């Protein structure tokens, strides 16, 4: 992002991630500080740790946005304010109509079949946000989770682990970590170690991408549960093949 000098920068969140690029939270924050400084103007949410002169901070979601999910409402509010700034002659009702009818994007709570969704969530904030959205549609939410990057898992544990990221889910099936761009000096953390970092892990169990997991998913779907796979790795392709075969 630092290759760009934006006319308008939109900062949706500032949760620390990508430890393979930014070794510390402060390095990560400073990258956003630089990004905002080299932009003509910027818009984001208050409390994110940025306070540049050209940054407008919001603190209230627009009540006329009717999308599911608190995070989607927050992002849509940023889009609304951005369009109003860029195109001041466009009526608010027209912007709201487009936003409230937005069907979503691939890999972000993407519907594969009835009650079966795939999502890119692999950061605790993303996970919690996706579960909150899913529970607006179905009170019984089942998660199949594939952690992404061993180096990310080490940094998460240093920061206290997953804590309550999966709170609200009825069941979680936890897969081995998908390895990508790794530090070979780091020991690969086990699923058991990562599961233990959850404040409540009584509803979380280890799993593998195999026929046993397929049967469990099919059973949950037949019982009317909503199933979300969360992955930035190969779980997405696996669940798509399962959905196609059914």
3-state secondary structure of 76: helix
What pLDDT is attached to residue 245?
A: 84
What pLDDT is attached to residue 99?
A: 98
> Is 3.90.190.20 the CATH number for 110-245?
yes
Q: Is 181 left (phi over 0), alpha (psi -120 to 50) or beta?
A: left
Q: Which single residue is written with the structure tokens 């991408």?
A: 209
What pLDDT is attached to residue 57?
A: 95
Q: Identify whether the C-beta of residue 155 lies closer than 8 Å to the C-beta of residue 122.
A: no
109-123 average pLDDT score: 97
What is the b/e burial string over 89-117, where b = at least 16 CB atoms within 10 angstroms of the residue's CB? Answer: eeeeeebbeebeeeeeeeebbbebeebbb
Q: Identify whether the C-beta of residue 191 lies closer than 8 Å to the C-beta of residue 174.
A: yes
Angle, alpha carbons 28-32-34 (nearest 5°): 115
pLDDT for residue 157 is more than 90: yes
All CATH 3.90.190.20 domain ranges of the chain, comma separated, are: 110-245
Report the chain's mean pLDDT, rounded to a whole number: 96
Distance CA 5, CA 192 (A): 44
Task: Give 197-243 pLDDT, tens digit per residue.
Answer: 999 999 999 999 999 999 999 999 999 999 999 999 999 999 999 99
Distance of CA 83 to the CA centre of its chain: 24
Distance CA 150, CA 188 (A): 6
| pLDDT band at 10; cut points 50, 70, 90 | very high
Q: Identify whether the C-beta of residue 165 lies closer than 8 Å to the C-beta of residue 203.
A: no
| pLDDT band at 49; cut points 50, 70, 90 | confident
Task: Give 95-110 pLDDT, tens digit per residue.
Answer: 999 999 999 999 999 9
Entry pTM: 0.93
pLDDT for residue 82 is more than 80: yes
158-184 average pLDDT score: 96
Q: Identify whether the C-beta of residue 14 lies closer than 8 Å to the C-beta of residue 48.
A: yes
Distance CA 161, CA 143 (A): 18
Task: Give 121-153 pLDDT, tens digit per residue.
Answer: 999 999 999 999 999 999 999 999 999 999 999
């Amino acid at each position: 992002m630092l290759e760009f000098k934006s006319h308008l920068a939109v900062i949706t969140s500032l949760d620390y991630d990508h430890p393979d690029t930014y070794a510390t939270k402060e390095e990560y924050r400073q990258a956003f500080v630089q990004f905002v400084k080299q932009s003509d103007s910027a818009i984001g949410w208050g409390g994110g740790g940025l306070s540049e002169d050209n940054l407008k901070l919001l603190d209230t979601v627009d009540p006329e946005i009717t999308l599911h999910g608190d995070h989607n409402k927050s992002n849509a509010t940023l889009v609304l304010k951005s369009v109003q700034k860029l195109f001041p002659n466009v009526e608010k009702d027209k912007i709201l109509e487009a936003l409230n009818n937005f069907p979503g994007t691939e890999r972000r709570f993407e519907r594969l079949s009835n009650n079966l969704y795939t999502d890119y969530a692999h950061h605790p904030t993303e996970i919690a946000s996706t579960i909150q959205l899913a529970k607006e549609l179905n009170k019984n939410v089942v998660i199949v989770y594939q952690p992404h990057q061993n180096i990310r898992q080490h940094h998460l544990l240093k920061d206290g682990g997953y804590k309550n990221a999966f709170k609200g889910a009825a069941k979680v099936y936890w897969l081995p970590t998908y390895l990508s761009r790794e530090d070979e000096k780091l020991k690969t953390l086990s699923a058991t170690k990562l599961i233990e970092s959850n404040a409540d892990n009584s509803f979380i169990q280890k799993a593998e991408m195999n026929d046993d997991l397929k049967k469990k998913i099919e059973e949950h779907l037949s019982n009317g549960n909503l199933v979300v796979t969360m992955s930035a790795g190969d779980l997405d392709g696996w669940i798509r093949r399962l959905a196609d075969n059914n």
